[in-house]
Amino acid sequence: MRGRENCARIAGMRDAPAATAADFGPDSAPLAVLAAARTPGVLAVITGVEGPSYRPLGAMMAFAAAGGQTGSLSSGCVEADLAIHAQTALGEGRPLAVRYGRGSPFIDIQLPCGGGLEILLVPDPDRAVLDEVCGRLAARGPITLRIDADSGALGIDDAAATGWQGTAFAVHLQPELQFLTFGKGPEASTFAALARSAGYRAMLLSPDEETLAHGRQAGCATRHLARRAMPADIAPDGWTAVTLFFHDHDWEPPIIEAVLESPAFYIGAQGSRRARQARDLDLEARGVAREAIARVRGPIGLIASARDPRTLAVSVIAEILDAARQARLQA
């Protein structure tokens, strides 16, 4: 299947291991599972939210005919019951809408958050369309899936927002975040390992073999840096976070200069305010405009003056995820 093959290469990470469904992340993994399945399954989509909700509008889940499932639409409150309705939709061969929480006929199923969920179950969704969606996401491009609520027919839409369009529901999907980590020492390897353990695609680039070895043990893709420069085949996109963890700050300016030519949504470098001032002067000397230099964060992390690799890693990844949330809200 084309989408499954396309998953094996993520833009800017050509040395990364072949992707699996998990590399699509919680928003799109159910689509990848259904696209690759040999037997019909059911796609479940949140099409309405009233009040608080554990998962957002457009969140998806996949149910296999044999009983397996991928993803979640609540904190475990409705999935077991949804599996029963999924089998009903599959048996009847038509979409089925169910409601939980506020206004639901299923009074024995309560949502602790007190909200309400509308969920559409689509039996045997068109695998060719799912394959196209997965291929686009694997190629690092956004795409919108359109679902006809009456027939269950799938299509590709130009809309950039999730929501109802007449009798069709659109789910706007963006590529998963990916992390490019440059540096040397435990700060770099610990951060890359944390990103990978959280389920993100992560590449660690370092001139130090010990640092790379620690990254490989954590499942990260790695690249040896032979000189102070960005590898020519690395191309950060708008869903890429680039972090630098060097104590020898001479490595930073040429890498940052190259990264600033990309649309990476986050660029940050470890170091004190004094180190940042020196870095900014070096970048200015290389001819980098001040407005471009302002994109580089430093000191990085939500916790000021973190003094151990684990605290720093958690602090920085939290800052990055918040930046990603803000970027998606503004998109």
- pLDDT score, position 10: 32
**How far is 248 from 254, CA to CA, in rounded Å?**
13
- Is-cis flag, bond preceding 299, omega within 30? yes
Helix (H, G, I), strand (E, B) or coil at 213: helix
Q: Residue holding tokens 């470098």?
A: 269
* Torsion-angle region of 219 (φ positive above 0: left; ψ -120 to 50: alpha; else: beta): left
Domains of the chain, CATH where assigned: 2-173 (no CATH), 178-330 (3.40.50.720)
Query: Is residue 81 exposed (0-12), middle (13-18) or buried (19+ Cβ within 10 Å)?
Result: middle
Rounded mean pLDDT for each run of 10 residues along the chain, 331 residues in total:
38 41 75 92 95 89 91 86 94 94 71 82 97 92 96 90 94 94 98 95 97 97 96 95 96 97 97 95 97 97 92 97 86 61
CB count in 10 Å sphere of residue 121: 23
**How far is 194 from 212, CA to CA, in rounded Å?**
14
**How far is 223 from 181, CA to CA, in rounded Å?**
10
> Residues 27, 30, 34, 35: is their CA dihedral positive or negative?
positive
| Structure letter (DSSP) for residue 93 | T
**How far is 22 from 35, CA to CA, in rounded Å?**
13
**How far is 38 from 47, CA to CA, in rounded Å?**
27
- pLDDT score, position 14: 39
Task: Compute CA distances 243 → 123, 128, 139, 206, 238, whole Å.
Answer: 43, 37, 22, 12, 14
* Torsion-angle region of 51 (φ positive above 0: left; ψ -120 to 50: alpha; else: beta): left
**How far is 106 from 104, CA to CA, in rounded Å?**
5
